[in-house]
Amino acid sequence: MAKAQSLQEPYLNALRREHVPVSIYLRNGIKLQGQIDSFDNFVVLLKNNVSQLVYKHAISTIVPTREIHIDFDDEFGGKPASKEEPAGDEAP
């Protein structure tokens, strides 16, 4: 079985690389706007007039202003983990 991969990292990385403006909605309803400058496992650095360090556990939704393309082949050298291979008759 192939190792599962995260959708979060390639998604945020595409937004960062393409400098896509985003709206980030926090769990308390506050809306932040800007471009993703950087991110790690725990935070997103959002840049607008000022930089804001936003903890991921506080984020509800990230909405880009335009559609983005996530190329899993470039990011991880394979298909996304969410697409399962069809079941066959071959042994495991």
pLDDT bucket at 71, cuts 50 / 70 / 90: confident
Q: Where are the domains of the chain?
A: 8-74
Please provide the average confidence, as pLDDT, over all residues in the chain. Answer: 84
**Both ends of the chain: CA-CA distance in Å?**
9
Main-chain phi, psi angles of 44, to 5 degrees: -125, 130
Reply yes or no on domain 8-74 having CATH 2.30.30.100. yes
pLDDT in tens, 33-60: 999 999 999 999 999 999 999 999 999 9
